[in-house]
Amino acid sequence: MKFTIDWLSDYCRTGLPAATVAELLTKAGIKVEGLEERGGETVFELEVTANRPDCLSVIGVAREVSVVTGKPVVEPPFKLETTRTMRSPDWMLDVQEPELCPRYVGRTVKGLKVGPAPGLLRQRLEAVGLRSVNNAVDITNYVLYECGQPLHAFDLDKLSGRSILVRRGKAGEKLKAIDGREYDCAGALVIADAEKPVAIAGVMGGKDTEVTEGTKDILLESAVFDPVAVRRTSRKLGLASDSSYRFQRGVDPARVDWASRRAIYLMREHAGARPDTSHLDTRPESAPKRQLQFKVAAIARVLGRDVELPMARRILETLGFEIREDLDGVWRIAIPTWRSDVARDVDLVEEIARVHGYDRIPTSPRVHIALAPPNPADEASAAAKDALRASGHDEVLTLSFTGKSAAEAPFLAGEPVGVLGKTGKREEQMRQGLLPSLLDAVRMHEAYGEKGADLFEIAKVYAKDPRGFQERSILGVVSSRGFAALKGALENVLDRLGLLAHCSFRPAERGHLVPGRTASVSIDGREIGAIGEVSPALAAAHDVRTRPCAAELDWDALVAAAKLRRRFGEFPTLPAVQRDIAVVLDRQVAWADVEQAVRAAAPAGLLESVQFFDLYEGKGIPPGRKSVAFSITLRAPDRTLTSEEADKAVQAVVAALSQKFQATLRQ
């Protein structure tokens, strides 16, 4: 909100420098973002919060200045008498959507002499950044900034049938607005004449009925429109204006007729217009002011200190609140029509506090600090991210939206969750997996010449099924360094989470990963995801030139199973014995099964680790068989193992593999 100090002085003359006024307003919670000299005028720029639409007008700011300076507010004097009528011989009004337009006031003037606006009026508008158009349009903008009520002037002769219909736009109806662009009116609240829309209600008027140099007669609109309807229309059309900005936040219903009369008066004085003696008003009666029972003891209870009641009373009354009754410390207060944000005791206490001075509220020099217990999800996330970064992966943050692609196999089964108000094909639905987003990130890296993209993300995915909506967190990783490198990175993550000993990788098939180069990942026998090489179809769908490997794991399951508390163990003081073993067995036998059998067969308390290191198929190995080589590390906690003990352990392992998989020791 912008205004000049000269304009403000018309309603509250303080005699104070502009900088002092700005400081007082800011201390009272009406933040002045800046002061600027423009054309000999000092221009204020306010940061107005969404709950204070009353401060989007010079009169509203004048009330705030009045309460912090003690100077009275004087509204502009003018006199314009018109009589409400049910019908007008000059035009017709039909509000078909009273819930979206609870009040519509229309007045007409004739004999308008369109020309330049008066110098002072034009100077003030230009100082706040508005372009002067002509005296009629400038007057509507001037009154908008003056009192916060948007107005719109129609050329009466250009309204078909001299009619105003407030209705919803029909399918196929379009409007060329005064900004020169054409907008689809279907479903939006519009102002129409007998044939077509002539304005988008609360947002912008149409080009065909705007005031021009040839305009003689004007129909002036002053109305109340539903804030939610205006907001939806403005967002849907991508169209915003000073009017929509105010209607979205709510206008003062008591100013609707005042603003109409004020603008007609200025047109009479500065444009030679002859006001009609009657006007149409769909709701002339004023709604009763809301009332609130206020216990004055709440002031000390909330602020921690007493405020003198005469001072509190003066603050509230200067702000426009009426104290209609005072019974045993309970005030019955009528809330002004422009303060829709005030609804509770604490709202009134806040009004008193901000004007009385936040600096007068006592503060405690002691700050109580309470230690929060560790959050397992945060600890697991930090550990996993550290492990992946140590493995050379970079974290990315991608959008939760994605487009449709037949080549994408989602992590979550079910129907996709659609997106309302989408603006493009890439925002058609919520993602069901992280892999599409990560591949898009890989493509972007490739576009900048970075071919080795190793990325990860922990984020949510979405789907819906007959039971309702699903929402899960998953860990997604892509790597350009091959399957083994990615598997190693995941093992580092699982080790940091205390789950490596509980994890197994088994051959699997996934439609979006290459067969024979894909494995499922399980924790204690429960599958939580998969790892593999991205299929050519999926890589092509995302325009990725390389063939990265990828993994997606159920992050919620990992967090639930994580064992983050590690116990200290002393360094071993006795030597270990390491033996390499190579066995020949069927190709279908998975390494996870071999490892499980080795751990079960080794002597209890002696096996320290099992490490795979070689796979061989070819000369010397029968068809359908393979050679798997691994090393076992043995260590006793209380003695040095002998060669005989180590040999017996190896023999037990080989015997177990022979019995379970018909494995033979490779010579």
Cα–Cα dist 380/493, whole Å: 9
Question: Tokens 């900004």 identify what position?
Answer: 179
Separation of alpha carbons 13 and 73, rounded Å = 8
DSSP label of 160? G
Tracing tokens 């849907």 back to the chain, one arrives at: 236
pLDDT at 407: 54
Note if the pTM is more than 0.85.
no
Query: Could you count the other beta carbons within 10 Å of the beta carbon of residue 400?
Result: 15
Enclosing H/E stretch for 381? helix 376-390
On whether the CB atoms of residues 161 and 192 are closer than 8 A, the answer is: no
Query: In the structure encoding, which two tokens stand for residue 305, read together?
Result: 């200190």
DSSP 253: G
11 conformational bin, left if phi > 0, alpha if psi -120 to 50, beta if neither: alpha
Answer yes or no: are the C-beta atoms of 488 and 555 closer than 8 Å. Answer: no
Average pLDDT per run of 10 along the chain, which is 667 residues long? 90 91 90 85 89 92 92 89 86 94 94 91 90 93 95 95 94 93 94 95 94 93 95 93 93 93 94 91 84 90 86 91 88 92 92 87 73 86 95 93 69 82 68 91 91 92 86 94 93 93 89 91 93 92 90 95 84 90 91 89 88 90 92 91 91 93 88
User: How high is the pLDDT of residue 421?
Assistant: 65
The whole-angstrom distance between residue 123's C-alpha and the CA centroid of its chain comes to 39
Q: Please classify residue 188 by burial: count the beta carbons closer than 10 Å to its beta carbon, then call 0-12 exposed, 13-18 middle and 19+ buried.
A: buried
CA distance linking residue 487 with residue 593, whole number of Å: 17
The first and second tokens of residue 233, run together, are: 């229309």
Contact status, residue 153 vs residue 136, Cβ threshold 8 Å:
yes
d(CA 323, CA 321): 7
How far, CA to CA in Å, does 479 sit from each of 386, 393, 456, 507?
16, 8, 9, 19
Structure tokens at 461: 């995915």
> 265 — alpha (psi -120 to 50), left (phi > 0) or beta?
alpha
Domain architecture of the chain: domains with CATH:
2-69 (3.30.56.10), 83-281 (3.50.40.10), 291-356 (3.30.56.10), 376-561 (3.30.930.10), 577-665 (3.30.70.380)
3-state secondary structure of 195: coil
Residue 302's nearest CA partner among 340, 343, 341, 352 is: 352
pLDDT score at 406 = 47
Q: Are 192 and 160 in contact (CB under 8 A)?
A: no
